[in-house]
Amino acid sequence: MSTSTPSHQAVTLANRVSMPLLGLGTYRLRADDVQPVVRAAVQAGYRLIDSAAVYRNEAHIGKVIHELLSDDSLGLRREDLFITSKLAPRDQGYDACYNAVQDSLQRFNLEYLDLYLIHWPGLKQHDPKNAINRFSSWRALEKLHAEGKLRAIGVSNYTLTHLTELLASCTIRPHVHQFELHPLLNQRELIALCEQNEIQVQAYSSLGEGRLVSGELVLPNLQAIFAKYAQQTPAQVLLRWAVQHGWGVIPKSKSPERVKVNGDVFSFELAEEDMRTLDLLGVSNPRRFCWNPSEIQ
Instruction: Read off the pLDDT of residues 71-122 as tens digits, 9 standing for 90 and up.
Output: 999 999 999 999 999 999 999 999 999 999 999 999 999 999 999 999 999 9
For position 165, which CATH number holds? 3.20.20.100
Residues contributing to the annotated binding site for substrate: 119
pLDDT score of 218 more than 90: no
Phi and psi at residue 117, in whole multiples of 5°? -120, 150
Q: Is the pLDDT of residue 6 over 80?
A: no
Residue 4 pLDDT:
38
In a domain, 274, yes or no: yes
DSSP string, 258-272: HHHHHT--SS----H
pLDDT digits (tens, 9 = 90+) for 254-277: 999 999 999 999 999 999 999 999
DSSP output for 68-111:
HHT-TTTT--GGG-EEEEEE-GGG-SHHHHHHHHHHHHHHHT-S
User: Cα–chain-centroid distance for residue 193?
Assistant: 18
Spell out where the chain has E strands: 10-12, 18-20, 23-25, 48-50, 82-87, 115-118, 153-156, 176-180, 200-204, 248-249
The mean of the pLDDT values for the chain is: 95
In a domain, 293, yes or no: no
Give pLDDT tens digits for 109-166: 999 999 999 999 998 888 889 999 999 999 999 999 999 999 999 999 999 999 999 9
Q: Is 223 part of any domain?
A: yes
Tell me if 296 is assigned to some domain: no
pTM of the model: 0.96
Give the pLDDT confidence score for residue 7 in this predicted structure. Answer: 58
Domain membership of residue 77 (yes or no) is yes
According to DSSP, residue 229 is labeled: T
Q: How many domains does the chain have?
A: 1
**Sign of the Cα pseudo-torsion (65, 70, 74, 80, in order):** positive
Q: Is 55 a catalytic residue?
A: yes
d(CA 249, CA 263): 10
pLDDT value for 5: 43
How far apart are the C-alpha atoms of 217 and 7, rounded to whole Å? 29
Distance CA(85)–CA(220), nearest Å, equals 37
Domain membership flag for residue 34: yes
User: Does residue 294 lie within any of the structural domains?
Assistant: no
pLDDT tens digits, 31-43: 999 999 999 999 9
Given the residues 55, 116, 158, 204, select the one marked as catalytic.
55
Domain housing 50? 6-287
